[in-house]
Amino acid sequence: MTIPLLSLMTFLPLVGMVIILCLNRERHVNAIRGVATVFAALSFLVSAYLFLPFNSADSAIQLEEKALWFDAAGFVVNYHMGIDGLSLPLIFLTTLLTLLSVIYSWRITERVKEYMAFFMLLEVGMLGVFCALDFFLFYVFWEVSLVPMYFLIGIWGGPRREYAAIKFFIYTLVGSLAMLLAILAMYFTSQPHTFDIIELTNQKLFAGPFGFGVKHFWVATLAFWGFFLGFAIKVPLFPFHTWLPDAHVEAPTAGSVILAGVLLKMGTYGFVRVSLPMLPGPAQYFAVVIVLLALASIIYGALVAMAQTDLKKLIAYSSVNHMGYVMLGVAAAVGATVPDRYGPTLEVARITALNGAVLQMFNHGIITGALFFLVGVIYDRAHTRDLNSFGGLAKQMPVYAGIMMMASFASLGLPTLSGFVSEFLVFVGSFGVYRVFTALAVLGVIFTAVYFLWMIQRIFLGPLNRQWTELTDMDGGELVATVPLCFLMLFIGIYPRPLLDLINTAMSGLVYEMSQVIHLVQGWGMWG
Amino acid sequence: MLQLAWITPLLPLAACAVLIFFGSALRKRIGERVGWIGVAGIAATIPFSVGCLVELLLGAAPVDVTAVWGHIGGRAMEVGYAVDPLAAVMLTMVSIVATCIQVYSIGYMHGDARFQRFFAYLSLFCACMLMLVLANNFVMIYGGWELVGLCSYLLIGFWFEKRSAYLAAKKAFITNRVGDFGFALGILVLFFYVPELHFGKVFAAAANHEIPLLWLGIAAFLLFCGAIGKSAQFPLHTWLPDAMEGPTPVSALIHAATMVAAGVYMVARLFTIFYLPTAEQGLPFGELFGISPLLWVGIIGLITALMAAIIGVVQSDIKRVLAYSTISQLGYMMVGLAMGPIGFVAGVFHLITHAFFKALLFLGSGSVIHACHEEQDIWKMGGLARKAPITFVTFWAGTLALAGIFPFAGFFSKDEILAATFHNAAAHWVYWVFFIGLELAAFLTAFYMGRCCFLTFSGEARSDKAAHAHESPAVMTVPLVILAVFAVFLGWVGSPWVGGNLFHHFVHYAPPVAEATHGAAHGAAAAAHGGGEAAGFSWLVASISTLMALAGLGLSAAIYRLNLIPVSWIKTPLYPLYYAARHKFWFDDIYEGVIVRGVVLLANILRWVDTNIVDGVVNLIGWGVRVGVATVCGFIDKWIVDGAVNLIGWLTGRVGEYGSRLQTGRVQEYISALVFLGCAAAAALYLAILALPYLEPHLGFIGVWFGR
């Protein structure tokens, strides 16, 4: 009998949660923390082990687990899990960030039992989303990940936590509902009716050229925009991003890390897992909208970040900025361009863009995760995040300054750090599809440099503000949480091949499949 | 040694790692001897780089080694390193100059609180610079390019407590990013046509006409934007004078000898991309805005050379004089490259000689500043010749080299550039502009350097600090002497009397042959073509430029040393120019006042829009739902679907109460409203989907309206 690795990994934290719930909230505080850490670590180990049985040369879904869940008068729902080169990096990211967050969260003293229990549940939800291959299951996990985050923000958050938590919850729920409608649309269009993601993709429901008046135009459009809303709110794509800064600012440090590091990826993951393969026609038809919104996220996000005085808000807007690159790559992977021009290189460009987008998801997770940890470090000590109140901390906290600068430079795309590789791939790929838009997006790189350098200046440079002579440098727990992320930034920045080849196999397969379903070179030609 | 060239960046990198992680501990143990770790890291590269150079000189074939960086589709993206004559001379220059400067730094940085950190950064810089030089692909050259920028940022802002220092650091990085925006776009354009990273493959494709000439030209122009930023060319030159806020060895190594020359090196490395559009369409006018990319390089170079020389004349800070002189000389190199294959070697040669004598001058200025107790104003110096004799002699050697006086190094390299413009002028009148412009710049160069030297070393001390000046320790003067030897004698390798211009035969440009087998395209093509044609040594050009240099020095001596001519004789008739030069032609004011303020203002406006409009709409909808829909739903709840929804409401109520810190109520309302809406929408959707197959044939008319 083979061990169901994916289920094991996904539900280990649930076991941890149950154990935590059985412990006494006052007497077993350290035991609760220990159990959470152990189960997060176990889940992490299983996810790391996945790389061994996983065949990175195979673009198909692997390590599949499929069983009938329920069959209510023909309404068949399967328990279907599986991974490919798209989900594996994200799973690894999830377990890694959760483990680091739990370690970091040892410093939480308020209602530890609930906190850790919610964290475990959150991990279950996130891992489930990345593994699930049945829409019903996918939706369940999607919602499961929502609830614990709502409580993490609402209970352990900052002063405006209620507003932020409700806003986060309702906004995302609206998106979820839109997604639910889209799922139903897919279900009722499919023949035979199915919720299975792989099955739905293979049915090629909307094959052939797509445009106004073709068969199923309305259903496909509805499904596409339903998914779009669900995913775009999660990403978040401009103009659906305003829940993000509020949620981030109010969330506890570890909550921000998971929110930015993993939850946002669920949106972009949805685009690549669902929108592109299932609805390539509508995706191509409407890609120009995604490009425009991605471009807006990049430029607008960067400029708004520049104007922030709250450190955490700045990093939050930088996420809008950086997730814009992911969406640019996603749109370029399917976007239409000038007909019959640059045929052979066009497919390379699409694959490059999509590889870059997926790698950027991973990189943004580790970089922004690290940045949010680092914001927590300074907030715990200074009890303020006002950039203008700092100054000269490089002298007071040299290790902190070094790590923060490394993460910032990774985020602004300095070569040999991971952000560069993915941004580079997104740009070179997207440029093959959208020249003007990509050129404008590259402009965002300048603004990114501006706001990060300005941030560094305001926190670390200049004479030391007398107020902060008591601040101590990073402690052991904080270093344990951030140093592995820094190591990953450097490793992927220098030698992205292990990860990139893994992603490339899956993404090449996806682009190839899409070009089988529709002709990828036709339609809008104005931005060629 | 050629096969081991990849080691060279790793040696200083190892030194950097040791210094970063164990620097402070080591410093406590062995004191400032910790600096020698950095020196060892870079000095160890000298045998490798010189070995490469010698092997190539003896006729070994250039190496080009690649490894797979990742796959895109079925394509392998290759990165790696290549050592050809161009790279070899750069390697040698970088390792020797950097070693001298690191040794010097041990003296210069004595007593600094972050002594070990300084050497860590310098070592990191050396590693990145060597990587840039060795790169054979766009990823690594861009990577090295940005990383040297990072080191520049760290080192300009090394004394980060000083406001002017950290502002200068930020300015340098961001200005370079603006240029790199162009550089990146250039890479994108090339990748668009040739999805390869390796230079050789891209060149071969270009030679095979796989890239339309127009776009090749555009790519060249965009790549050059990177060089404009890095090499401080007009109009992005403003960061370099400010970069003088960094410690003087940094100015010498990064902002004079090596990093700023990277722009010139990049143009030389990618010369094919610049040259092909020009060559294919004939000199001098190509397609891009009516001007070929190479001519753009020349125009920018010429403007830079003249403008910076003019500003240099009115500077009073010794380091700023040298900074403007660097900008001006980089302009020279660009003009050299712009002269096509005959100028290629001249530009590269000037790059190499300039690196040595400019490093010498900067270190000399550091020694002067050190001697005068951190005084940098040349008007407060004077009479240092007697107090700091070694500095005095070596500084003059550098000055004469820079001014282009026979037989110092600058004479030969500068002369070659001038000879190239002169040679081209025979073909087209437009090159007379370059020739005359550069001669004028040569005159100005000699003048401001003469002014700087006379004010610093001659006459009487004009301040207390200068009066109590002292010579620097040996650890600082020995590097000066070594560099001075190069400044005096290096030019001869590019003279017609040594091996019939040895440098020329070694480093030259050969365009790739169409249909060349990739990979070995570099070497094979170079071997097949032999040397490019040479402009040759011209006695006429040599005499004119010597005359210019002597006139400049003479005039400065007459004004500042012999007091024969009052300054006002020159200043008054040229007052508008003087005024403009004093204000550095207002570039900083325009950038600061218009661009920086504009962007910050825009950012603040957008922040307002984000909180009040984008988010305002969200809150408005939230409010609408709460007030409107929730009321309606409450009504329906109560009277129609009471039981079911109340149950859900009760359940969510329990959930809501669980987080007892949260206020409840609102959540319940929201959730019940949303659940209801969801059910209603799902039902509507279900009906719509069922109905669609029947409706669809009748909906076609809408498509007709939109003219599908």
Reported as a single tens digit per residue, the pLDDT across B304-330 is 999 999 999 998 888 999 999 999 999
CB-hemisphere CA count at 13 Å for B368?
Answer: 33
Residue B95 has pLDDT above 60, yes or no: yes
**Binding-face residues of B in 687-706 toward A, CB within 8 A:** 689-690, 692, 696, 699-700, 702-703, 706
Cβ atoms of B363 and B101 within 8 Å: the answer is yes
Q: What pLDDT is recorded for position B102?
A: 92
CA B82 remoteness from chain centre: 21
Residue A226 has pLDDT above 90, yes or no: yes
Q: Give me the amino acid identity at A410.
A: A
SS (HEC) of A203-224: CCCCCCCCCCCCCCHHHHHHHH
Closest CA to B251 of B273, B235, B232, B278: B232
Joined tokens for residue A282: 């509508």
pLDDT digits (tens, 9 = 90+) for A240-273: 998 999 999 999 999 999 999 999 999 999 999 9
Residue B9 has pLDDT above 70, yes or no: yes
pLDDT digits (tens, 9 = 90+) for B532-567: 455 567 788 888 889 999 999 999 888 888 888 888
**Binding-face residues of A in 487-506 toward B, CB within 8 A:** 495-497, 500-501, 504
Q: What pLDDT is recorded for position A224?
A: 92
What distance in Å separates the CA atoms of residue A458 and residue A132, rounded to the nearest whole number?
44
Closest CA to B418 of B393, B400, B437: B437
Indicate the pairing of strand A75-83 with strand A62-72: antiparallel
What distance in Å separates the CA atoms of residue B181 and residue A439, rounded to the nearest whole number?
9
Q: Is residue B684 less than 8 Å (CB to CB) from chain A?
A: no
Q: What is the mean pLDDT of residues A159-185?
A: 89
Contacts of A291 (CB under 8 A, 6+ apart): A328, A331, A332, A335, A434, A437
Q: What is the mean pLDDT of residues A326-331?
A: 94
Query: What is the b/e burial string over A466-479, where b = at least 16 CB atoms within 10 angstroms of the residue's CB?
Result: eebeebeebeeebb
What distance in Å separates the CA atoms of residue A492 and residue A422, rounded to the nearest whole number?
10
Q: Is residue A242 less than 8 Å (CB to CB) from chain B?
A: yes
- The runs of H, that is alpha helices, within A85-160 are 87-104, 112-131, 135-156
Q: Is residue B662 less than 8 Å (CB to CB) from chain A?
A: yes
Residue B662 has pLDDT above 70, yes or no: no
Q: How many CB atoms lie under 10 A from the CB of residue B691? A: 10
Joined tokens for residue B669: 């309302």
Contact B689 A166 (CB under 8 A): no
**Binding-face residues of B in 125-154 toward A, CB within 8 A:** 139, 142-147, 150, 153
**Binding-face residues of B in 155-174 toward A, CB within 8 A:** 157, 160-161, 163, 166-167, 170, 173-174
A65, A96, A177 from A48: Cα distances, Å: 18, 9, 33
Instruction: Give the closest-approach CA distance of A4 to chain B in angstroms.
Output: 31
Contacts of A141 (CB under 8 A, 6+ apart): A124, A125, A126, A127, A128, A129, A132
CA B155 remoteness from chain centre: 14
Q: What pLDDT is recorded for position B653?
A: 64
List the single residue in A with minimal CA-CA distance to B691. A219
DSSP state of A389: G
CA A187 remoteness from chain centre: 26
Q: What pLDDT is recorded for position A33?
A: 92
Q: Is B386 exposed, middle or buried, given 0-12, 13-18 or 19+ CB atoms closer than 10 A?
A: exposed
Residue A484 has pLDDT above 90, yes or no: yes
Joined tokens for residue A293: 């919104």
Contact A414 B674 (CB under 8 A): no
* pLDDT, chain A, mean: 88
pLDDT digits (tens, 9 = 90+) for B520-531: 444 433 433 444
Query: A159 falls in which pLDDT band (50, 70, 90)?
Result: confident
For the ranges A124-138, A191-205, A425-439, B590-604, the maximum mean pLDDT occurs at A124-138
A chain contacts of residue B72, beta-carbon cutoff 8 Å: 348, 351-352, 355, 425, 504
Q: What pLDDT is recorded for position B282?
A: 53
Q: Is residue A304 less than 8 Å (CB to CB) from chain B?
A: yes
Q: What is the mean pLDDT of residues A52-71?
A: 87
* pLDDT, chain B, mean: 83
List the single residue in B with minimal CA-CA distance to A442. B181
Q: What pLDDT is recorded for position B470?
A: 83
Joined tokens for residue B171: 């300015």
| CA quadruple B272, B275, B278, B280: dihedral sign | negative
Residue B170 has pLDDT above 60, yes or no: yes
Q: What pLDDT is recorded for position B286?
A: 46
Cβ atoms of A316 and A260 within 8 Å: the answer is yes
Query: A525 falls in which pLDDT band (50, 70, 90)?
Result: very low
pLDDT digits (tens, 9 = 90+) for A391-407: 888 888 889 999 999 99
Closest CA to A9 of A53, A39, A54: A39
Instruction: Give the closest-approach CA distance of A85 to chain B in angstroms.
Output: 13
Q: What is the mean pLDDT of residues A201-211?
A: 80
DSSP state of A461: S
Q: Is B589 exposed, middle or buried, given 0-12, 13-18 or 19+ CB atoms closer than 10 A?
A: exposed
Q: What is the mean pLDDT of residues B193-200?
A: 86
Instruction: Give the closest-approach CA distance of B351 to chain A in angstroms.
Output: 26
Query: A482 falls in which pLDDT band (50, 70, 90)?
Result: very high
A chain contacts of residue B699, beta-carbon cutoff 8 Å: 213, 218
Interface-testing mutation among A222, A416, A445, A492, with chain B (most B C-beta atoms within 10 A): A416
What distance in Å separates the CA atoms of residue A99 and residue A108, rounded to the nearest whole number?
15
Instruction: Give the closest-approach CA distance of A5 to chain B in angstroms.
Output: 28
Radius of gyration (Cα) for chain B, nearest Å?
32
Q: What pLDDT is recorded for position B280?
A: 64
Contact B160 A443 (CB under 8 A): no
Q: How many CB atoms lie under 10 A from the CB of residue A395? A: 18
Numbers of helices and strands, H then E, in chain B: 33, 2
From the list A184, A395, A508, the residue facing B685 with the nearest CB is: A184
CA A492 remoteness from chain centre: 17
Q: What is the mean pLDDT of residues B135-158?
A: 91
B chain contacts of residue A501, beta-carbon cutoff 8 Å: 70-71
Q: Is residue B189 less than 8 Å (CB to CB) from chain A?
A: yes
Residue A41 has pLDDT above 80, yes or no: yes
The percentage of chain B sitting over the pLDDT mark of 90, rounded to a whole number, equals 30
From the list B68, B139, B674, the residue facing A177 with the nearest CB is: B674
Query: A227 falls in which pLDDT band (50, 70, 90)?
Result: very high
**Binding-face residues of A in 398-457 toward B, CB within 8 A:** 409, 414-416, 420, 424-425, 427-428, 431-432, 435, 438-439, 442-443, 445-447, 449-450, 453-454, 457
A chain contacts of residue B604, beta-carbon cutoff 8 Å: 307
Phi and psi torsions of B137, nearest 5° = -150, 165
Q: What pLDDT is recorded for position B703?
A: 42
Numbers of helices and strands, H then E, in chain A: 21, 2
Q: Is B31 exposed, middle or buried, given 0-12, 13-18 or 19+ CB atoms closer than 10 A?
A: exposed
**Binding-face residues of A in 112-151 toward B, CB within 8 A:** 151
Cβ atoms of A138 and A79 within 8 Å: the answer is no
Interface-testing mutation among B71, B128, B201, B648, with chain A (most A C-beta atoms within 10 A): B71
For residues A111 and B496, the model is more confident at A111
What distance in Å separates the CA atoms of residue A489 and residue A415, rounded to the nearest whole number?
10
Contact A416 B147 (CB under 8 A): yes
Query: A158 falls in which pLDDT band (50, 70, 90)?
Result: confident
Q: What pLDDT is recorded for position B524?
A: 38
For residues B677 and B560, the model is more confident at B560
Joined tokens for residue B172: 């340098």
| CA quadruple A416, A421, A422, A424: dihedral sign | positive
From the list A300, A395, A431, the residue facing B191 with the nearest CB is: A431
Contact A349 B192 (CB under 8 A): yes
Q: What is the mean pLDDT of residues B448-470?
A: 85
Residue with structure tokens 């109905």?
B691
Contact A462 B703 (CB under 8 A): no
For residues B691 and A279, the model is more confident at A279
Joined tokens for residue B154: 């760290």
- State the count of interchain CB pairs (< 8 A) between A and B: 203
ipTM of this predicted complex? 0.89
Q: Is residue B627 less than 8 Å (CB to CB) from chain A?
A: no
For residue B377, what are the β-bridge partners? Answer: B317
Interface-testing mutation among A242, A338, A451, A487, with chain B (most B C-beta atoms within 10 A): A242
List the single residue in A with minimal CA-CA distance to B145. A415
CA A119 remoteness from chain centre: 17
**Binding-face residues of A in 382-401 toward B, CB within 8 A:** 392, 394-395
DSSP state of A23: S
Cβ atoms of B446 and B340 within 8 Å: the answer is no
Contacts of B120 (CB under 8 A, 6+ apart): B15, B16, B19, B20, B23, B38
Q: What pLDDT is recorded for position A327?
A: 94
From the list B177, B667, B689, the residue facing A219 with the nearest CB is: B689
Q: Give me the amino acid identity at B483.
A: L
**Helix, strand or coil, per DSSP, at residue A447:** helix
Indicate the pairing of strand B63-72 with strand B75-83: antiparallel
Contacts of A297 (CB under 8 A, 6+ apart): A237, A238, A241, A320, A321, A323, A324, A327
Closest CA to B354 of B248, B231, B477, B223: B231
From the list B144, B157, B606, the residue facing A304 with the nearest CB is: B606
What distance in Å separates the CA atoms of residue B615 and residue B635, rounded to the nearest whole number?
29
Angle at A160 between CA A157 and CA A161, to 5 degrees: 35
